[in-house]
Copies of this chain bind each other. A is one copy, B any other.
Amino acid sequence: MLRMSTLFLRTLREDPADAELASHKLMVRAGYIRRAAPGIYTWLPLGLRVLAKVEAIVREEMEAAGSQEVHFPALLPKEPYEATGRWDDYGPNLFRLADRKGTDMLLAPTHEEMFALVVKDMYTSYKDLPLSLFQIQTKYRDEARPRAGLLRGREFIMKDAYSFDIDDEGLERSYKTQREAYIRIFDRLGLEYVIVNAMSGAMGGSKSEEFLSPTEVGEDTFVRSPGGYTANVEAVTTPAPPALDWSDAPAAHVEDTPDTPTIETLVAAANANHPRPDRAWTAADTLKNVVIAATNPAGERGLMVVGLPGDREVDLTRLEAAVAPATVEPATEEDLKAHPELVKGYIGPAALGPQVRPEGVEFLSDEDSTIPYMLDPRVVEGTRWITGANVRGKHVFDLVAGRDFVGDGTIEAAEVRAGDPAPDGTGPLELARGVEIGHIFQLGRKYAEALELKVLDENGKQRVVTMGSYGIGVTRAVALLAELNNDEAGLAWPAHVAPYHVHVMATGKDDAAFAAAEDLAADLESRGVEVLYDDRAKVSPGVKFKDAELIGAPFVAVVGRSLADGVIEVGPRAGGERTAVPVADASETIVRMVDEALGR
């Protein structure tokens, strides 16, 4: 039994200044967590209890899935991460340090390398496989913008599991087992989720899926189609339309288009001065060329240009996923100044990428630009565009892809919009936001190859092991549960993860109420119900109710004035409707409610 008179707790009536999300505000106000540094939090007693319950559910299901628990250090040597390239690939997201001898070390963001090495150390034969290991452990990522409280921290607890198989079929099976365990875990946690195709990012590997919990506060955007296609927006591929016949296309021609630095002004000018006979020009007829600065993990910055239909914006998140581990940002004025061939507002393919120089199109220089030119997949051969002529106030019309220009390749950089077709033909996409609560990867042989994790196969030959890795953000799951279960008055935990089941309150000044509340609390505890007992003597009922609502236990029992009538008020979370129950029945009533909520 937790007694509020001694519990290390101070509830706050005001939101903390640095908090934006309800979960963050309420977990601080209700005394679950405190900030220690940006993105780094301390768990107070109530918070730690929720965390322990979430961990226990994760642990049980991992064990049920045949995964064995181990525990790796957080502080690790550089070498294994250098062997796989992640020491560099993680860029500034990795906390790096040197020990007293100057040895480079890191605080691990995940542990693929170390698990691969320990299996290499221990196992030698295909007979030792398949193998599944997991840990629940503290991870570190030096997020550029830690925000959202526990939802995106720099020190956080993760369940990470790793599978080891002799072949692809084995990996497929291990992956499926983990996927099913994840479904059970999130079902038990009461977290809604969508499983979407995802990008593997710095992790690498051949295939990955994310478990996203749909919520407006999510940092991830995902899509789904009526036919069942789902993907993180980063992983959506754009179906390329078929190439067009360009044989009847007129030659490209440069036209004066003064004062048309934007797509909107360009379309208006084109319709006014160069009308199209069959229909009006639209933004989709223009080819927009966006200059992007990309920085690789070594810190080297370079420019690229993305060419895409003028009715689409570049989605920097999608672009970044496409060029990972590089990071991207819009090019600056400085960047443009260094490249005079980039005429702001009038940039065209003729100054970019591999050069096809149509007649009649002017060039600023005879030199080819060295800036890579990446095209949206919709810019297929034969498509005709109005686009920049690389001269201020001029655009080129009827510039035909494949005939008049080519790119250095295609790239998924354009925004995905509601109504876009699903790449697998299952209908128009809808978009939603979600929080990533799990991510499962078929890593394949990337890590095993780099670290020489091989075992003898059935024929006595050395064979590289194939791996999967499977993560659940445990800290994040706690935050998300708080985010999805609250109202203005406070948190409202589901019974499975609540810090305790029942908030028992003694109100008034009557000793009898305190005595009866104490008896009730003790009886409930003896029957397996976890109780927070508000035994504070000089605190008003109003404050007690406010605290109870803020803290958010799923059930409440109030022992106060009505005790004189022989009843105790029992109900769901403070703030909900309560029923008067005879004192003698109160405990039994509560036990039934709790058992039902817990499904036991």
A543 at the interface (CB under 8 A from B): no
- The residue in chain B whose Cβ has the minimal distance to the Cβ of A34 is B118
Q: Is A380 an interface residue (CB 8 A)?
A: no
Among B69, B71, B75, the residue within 8 A (CB) of A140 is B75
B71, A95: Cβ atoms under 8 Å?
Answer: no
A364 CB–B CB distance under 8 Å: no
Which B residues are CB-close (under 8 A) to A40?
73, 75-76
Q: Is the CB of B42 within 8 A of A70?
A: yes
Contact present for A122 and B8 (CB under 8 Å): yes
| Cβ < 8 Å to B, chain A residues 73-98 | 73-77, 92-93, 95-97
CA distance A138 to B105 in the complex (A): 17
Contact B99 A142 (CB under 8 A): yes
Among residues of B, the one whose C-beta sits closest to the C-beta of A79 is: B37
Contact B97 A92 (CB under 8 A): no
Contacts of A284 in B (CB 8 A): none
Instruction: Report if A68 contacts B (CB, 8 A).
Output: yes
Q: Given A42-B114, A99-B142, A118-B34, answer yes or no on A155-B73 (Cβ-Cβ < 8 Å).
A: yes
Report the separation of the CA atoms of residues A37 and B117 in the bound assembly, to the nearest whole angstrom: 12
* Bound Cα distance from A492 to B331, whole angstroms: 66
- Judged by a CB distance under 8 angstroms, whether A169 is at the interface is no
Interface string of A17-51 (1 = CB under 8 A from B): 00000000000000100101100111111001001
Which residues of B sit under 8 angstroms from A70, Cβ to Cβ? Answer: 8, 42-45, 48
Complex CA distance for A44 and B135, rounded to whole angstroms: 10
A100 sits at the interface (CB 8 A): yes
Q: Does chain B have a CB within 8 A of A319?
A: no
Is A10 an interface residue when CB atoms closer than 8 A count as contact?
yes
Give the number of copies in the complex. Answer: 2
Residue numbers in B under 8 Å from A7 (CB-CB): 68
Q: Is A131 an interface residue (CB 8 A)?
A: yes
Contact B97 A71 (CB under 8 A): no
Q: Which of B69, B133, B144, B155 contacts A75 (CB 8 A)?
A: B155
A445 at the B interface (CB under 8 A): no
Interface string of A130-142 (1 = CB under 8 A from B): 0101000010101
Residues of chain A from 51 to 73 with CB closer than 8 A to chain B in the complex: 51, 66, 68-73
A565 at interface by CB-CB < 8 Å? no
How many residues does chain A have at the interface if contact means C-beta atoms less than 8 Å apart? 50
In the assembled complex, A245 has its CB within 8 A of some CB on chain B? no
Given contacts A8-B133, A45-B69, A100-B144, contact A95 B114 (CB under 8 A): no
State in angstroms the CA–CA spacing of A71 and B156 once bound together. 12
Residues of B within 8 A of A10 (CB): 121-123
Report the separation of the CA atoms of residues A138 and B76 in the bound assembly, to the nearest whole angstrom: 14
Instruction: Tell me whether A75 and B95 are in contact (CB under 8 A).
Output: yes
Instruction: Looking at the assembled complex, report how far the CB atom of A116 sits from the nearest CB atom of chain B, in whole angstroms.
Output: 12
CA distance A34 to B117 in the complex (A): 10
A441 to chain B, nearest CB (A): 20
A308 interfacial contact with B, CB 8 Å:
no
Is A148 located at the chain interface by the 8 A CB criterion? no
Would you call A42 and B77 a contact (CB within 8 A)?
no
Say yes or no for A454: interface residue by CB 8 A criterion: no
Return chain B residues, CB-CB under 8 Å to A122: 8-10, 31, 34
User: Closest B-chain residue to A130, C-beta based?
Assistant: B6
Q: Tell me the complex Cα distance, A42–B114, Å.
A: 9
A138 contacts which chain B residues (CB < 8 A)? 74, 138
**Contacts A8-B133, A122-B31, A142-B100: A107 and B75 contacting too (C-beta < 8 A)?**
yes
Docked Cα-Cα span, A40 to B77, in Å, equals 10
Most buried by B among A6, A37, A114: A37
Asked if residues A97 and B100 are in contact (CB atoms below 8 Å), the reply is no
Instruction: Pick from B43, B99, B105: contact of A71, CB below 8 A.
Output: B43
- Give the complex CA separation of A122 and B12 in angstroms: 9
- Which of A8, A34, A51, A105: most chain B CB closer than 10 A? A8
Q: Is A154 an interface residue (CB 8 A)?
A: yes
Residue of B nearest to A36 (CB): B73
For A41, what are the chain B residues with a Cβ–Cβ distance below 8 Å?
A: 73
- Complex CA distance for A92 and B45, rounded to whole angstroms: 33
Write out the residue numbers on chain B whose beta carbons fall within 8 Å of the beta carbon of A34. Answer: 118, 121-122
Residue of B nearest to A8 (CB): B68
Interface residues of A (CB under 8 A from B): 6-10, 31, 34, 36-37, 40-45, 48, 51, 66, 68-77, 92-93, 95-97, 99-100, 105, 107, 114, 118, 121-123, 131, 133, 138, 140, 142, 144, 154-155
Q: 20 A-B pairs, CB-CB below 8 angstroms? A: A6-B66, A8-B133, A9-B122, A34-B118, A36-B77, A37-B75, A37-B77, A40-B75, A42-B71, A42-B114, A42-B118, A45-B68, A45-B70, A48-B69, A74-B74, A74-B138, A75-B155, A97-B107, A99-B142, A99-B154
- By Cβ-Cβ distance, the 8 closest A-B pairs, closest first, are A97-B97, A43-B71, A10-B122, A92-B100, A37-B77, A40-B73, A100-B142, A73-B155
Name 20 extra pairs, CB < 8 A, besides A8-B131, A44-B70, A100-B144: A8-B68, A8-B122, A10-B121, A31-B122, A34-B118, A36-B72, A36-B77, A37-B77, A40-B73, A40-B75, A42-B70, A42-B73, A44-B118, A45-B68, A45-B70, A74-B155, A75-B154, A96-B97, A99-B142, A138-B138
